[in-house]
Structure 1
Amino acid sequence: MFFAAVATPRCHPVLIQQDNAKPHVAPDDPGVVAEGTEGGWCIQLHCQPANSPDLNCLDVGPFHEI
C-alpha cells in the first residue's frame, strides 16, 4: 500500500521566472518544454509581468527620496 502511494508519479512544477528581454526564449518553445519534462521533471518557464508605473507604489511620496 505504501509503495503504491510513493510510486505514483506526481508533478509539482518548478517555475523559472525570466524577464521579457529579447535574448530569452519563449515559455512555450518546443526545446524548452522537451528539456523541462526530461527525466520526470516538470520545469516551466514564466515571463515576469510588466512593470507598470501605475502599479509601482514605491515611486510615490516619501519613498521617492530614498
Structure 2
Amino acid sequence: MCQEFWKQFNLTPIGELPALGERWVKVIENLEAGVTRGRELHIHQQVHGGDLPSEYIDATGLVTGSQAA
C-alpha cells in the first residue's frame, strides 16, 4: 500500500495533490475501521464459540466456490 501511495504521489500533478491526500485519508480511515470491526468480530467469536454475529453472513462457500472456478 505504501508503494502505491508513493507511485500515485509521484505521478499526480501538483494541483491535484490535495485531492489525492483526501482520498488516502479516506483509505486509511476505512482501513482503521476495518481493523476495529475485525477485532470486535474476533472477540465475539471467542465469546460465542466461533459463531458469527447474527448480522453477518458466512460467505465462505461463495468465496471457496469462486476460487475453484
Under a length normalisation based on structure 2, what TM-score does the superposition of the two structures give?
Answer: 0.29
Under a length normalisation based on structure 1, what TM-score does the superposition of the two structures give?
Answer: 0.29
Which structure shows the higher helix fraction? 2
Which structure shows the higher strand fraction? 1
